[in-house]
Amino acid sequence: MAALIAENFRFLSLFFKSKDVMIFNGLVALGTVGSEELFSVVAFHCPCSPARNYIYGLAAIGVPALALFLIGVIWNNHTWNLVAECHKRGVKNFSAAATFLLFGSIMGRAAVAPVTWSVISLLRGEAYICALSEFVKPSSLDKFPSEYGAEVLARFPCRDVPANLTKFRDEVTRRLRYESQLFGWLLIGIVAVLVFLTKCLKHCCSPLSYRQEAYWAQYRSNEDKLFRRTAEVHSRILAAKNVKHFFGFVALDKEEKELVQEFPVEGVQPSPQWNAITGVYIYRENKGFPLYSRLHKWAKGVEGNGPTPEGHELLFLAS
């Protein structure tokens, strides 16, 4: 189970940090399918007891989906940018449209894994059969013995039934599996329509041309990679200087010595600079020139977070 959790974390991490969302959406879905299959084989065991089946069946579908959704929210950079924005500046500069875009982006990305889990669970049908077998009305079954009730129906998923009820068990299982798979296919259809409408709405409302939007995506990806790489080197060199100041020397390997010699670090960035480049960013232009990120905006010396007489804000959130 630890390996299963680690694998899901790996898929989600790649998904939420990748510039190629569609590819990693597929990876998240595949990882979730494999996890659900393993869970069904190893961990799912219907209690086959009245009043327990329903809770256990719903928990088998809902609890992992909820956990995957929360993990998705946690691993989404927009979530923590929103937290930083609310903490440092509030959301007074956000319009209703911008707020909707932001929450839609967070919820939409976080929903990939839980929706996949729910769909696969419904298509397999075991959890649904376990949850609802006891609620099948005996009167709906032709010539069902009157001496049996909900207690024996609850044992149908475990095949622990008298020999004379085998055909009824097969009929109940077939009926519930049909319902479960129907709900699964309906969920797939609803999600597909929603994704299609969302993509259409996004491109129709986008203030950017297709090529500029592709350039913006490339810029964000490159800026993030370079920032992380530079921050790692900067923090290592700064740590080396502080350790040397404390001990009088610092034990560096060859590569680290070359870094210290090549990139002299004089100090650290003050908190106002970190605050200026941290938070939610919605595409803006200043005097007709695009500002592709908070770092870009800070480097250009543009002040403020909202529209100004010299600048124009276009409410378009980075995907």
Contact (Cβ atoms closer than 8 angstroms) between residue 150 and residue 50: yes
Q: Computed over its alpha carbons, how large is the radius of gyration of the chain?
A: 27
Percentage of the chain beyond pLDDT 90 is: 29
Mean pLDDT over the full length of the chain: 79
| Location of structure tokens 């002299």 | 264
- Give the separation between CA 137 and CA 255, rounded to whole angstroms: 73
Helices (runs of H) and strands (runs of E) counted in the chain: 13, 3
Contact (Cβ atoms closer than 8 angstroms) between residue 28 and residue 116: yes
pLDDT-derived band at 310 (thresholds 50, 70, 90) equals very low
Tokens at residue 95, please? 């319009």
What is the longest distance spanned by two Cα atoms in the chain? Answer: 91
Q: Tell me the mean pLDDT in the region 32-49.
A: 69
Q: Tell me the mean pLDDT in the region 239-249.
A: 93
Q: Tell me the mean pLDDT in the region 156-166.
A: 80
DSSP-derived secondary structure letter, 308: -
Strand order across the 311-317 sheet? 289-291, 282-286, 311-317
Does the pLDDT at position 43 exceed 60? yes
pLDDT-derived band at 29 (thresholds 50, 70, 90) equals low
pLDDT-derived band at 149 (thresholds 50, 70, 90) equals confident
Report pLDDT digits (tens) over 70-101: 998 998 888 887 777 777 666 656 666 667 77
Does the pLDDT at position 306 exceed 60? no
Burial group, residue 229, by CB count within 10 angstroms (0-12, 13-18, 19+): exposed
pLDDT-derived band at 288 (thresholds 50, 70, 90) equals confident
Q: Which of 72, 149, 135 is closest to 108 using CA atoms?
A: 72
